[in-house]
Amino acid sequence: MQIFGVDIGGSGIKGAPVDLDSGDLAAGRYKVATPQPSAPDAVADAVAEVVGHFGWTGPVGMTFPGVVTAGVTRTAANMDKQWIGLDTHALLGARLGLPVTVLNDADAAGIAEMTFGAGRDRDGTVILLTFGTGIGSAVFTDGRLVRNTELGHLELHGRDAETHASSKAKEDEDLSWAHWARRVQKYLAHVEMLFSPDLFIIGGGVSREADRFLPLIEGIRAEIVPATLRNSAGIVGAAMTASRAR
């Protein structure tokens, strides 16, 4: 069976139909730039363009880079503040005229990785962290997700951790891999102190370059592996969630 997944991010909005049996995209993904400012109506139009590109008329799962409870977006660290408190489920459902499901982007990526990727068949505590514009988190215990954990906003050196250790921080401050890896290591040590995970899965676009920084990270007890679904994890997890909601 196929369901459509859309991953809404601070810089891009991408989507594709997903084959839920294999976890593969059933067609090449289509991506548009996130409108700036990323106001809800403009983003809803962009989502409609992505879904319309495929002529899709079935259910659609969507991610959002913030806390989502019962379809309402509660935070928007890297999006326009008009999203805070908005019934995003209603807005996007009305704009598309299709059944929609909305969840946090890192939670979606985690769901996909736990089923089809690096977390497959892994029990215990597994934490997926996505390093991109922000830091997203998805915490699983024996395969069950605790939603909206927002570990990217833990305090590190008196700062919001994601402003210090995201891949955007690496780019903005032009940090070397070694320098950035030290920051990621301190961040992982802090998360490990709180949760004692068995496995960390490192996702986000930077996971493509895992060879350049994971070998530099020391002193973490948990196993650390790169995500395997790379930048389609959000799309796949969104589609899986929409399928379960039916």
Using CB under 6 A, list all residues that contact ligand BGC: 65-67, 75, 77-78, 104-106, 130, 132, 134, 136, 150, 152, 162
Distance of closest approach, residue 162 Cβ to ligand BGC, in angstroms? 6
Longest dimension (CA), the chain: 51
Distance of closest approach, residue 89 Cβ to ligand BGC, in angstroms? 16
Name the residue nearer to ligand BGC (CB basis): 59 or 110: 110
Name the residue nearer to ligand BGC (CB basis): 2 or 151: 151
Name the residue nearer to ligand BGC (CB basis): 67 or 156: 67
Between CA 40 and CA 64 the distance in angstroms is 11
Q: Other C-beta atoms within 10 Å of 167: how many?
A: 23
231 SS3 class: helix
Between CA 207 and CA 230 the distance in angstroms is 7
Quote the DSSP letter at residue 138: E
Name the residue nearer to ligand BGC (CB basis): 2 or 233: 233
Distance of closest approach, residue 8 Cβ to ligand BGC, in angstroms? 9
Consecutive H or E run containing 18? strand 12-19
Distance of closest approach, residue 75 Cβ to ligand BGC, in angstroms? 5
Between CA 244 and CA 246 the distance in angstroms is 6
> Contact at 8 Å (CB) between 180 and 213?
yes
Q: Other C-beta atoms within 10 Å of 179: how many?
A: 12
**CB closest to ligand BGC, residue no:** 134
> Contact at 8 Å (CB) between 99 and 93?
yes
Name the residue nearer to ligand BGC (CB basis): 78 or 101: 78
Distance of closest approach, residue 156 Cβ to ligand BGC, in angstroms? 14
Distance of closest approach, residue 97 Cβ to ligand BGC, in angstroms? 27
Distance of closest approach, residue 85 Cβ to ligand BGC, in angstroms? 15
Name the residue nearer to ligand BGC (CB basis): 163 or 228: 163
Consecutive H or E run containing 184? helix 177-195
Closest CA to 208 of 182, 232, 238: 232
Q: Other C-beta atoms within 10 Å of 174: how many?
A: 8
Name the residue nearer to ligand BGC (CB basis): 59 or 204: 204
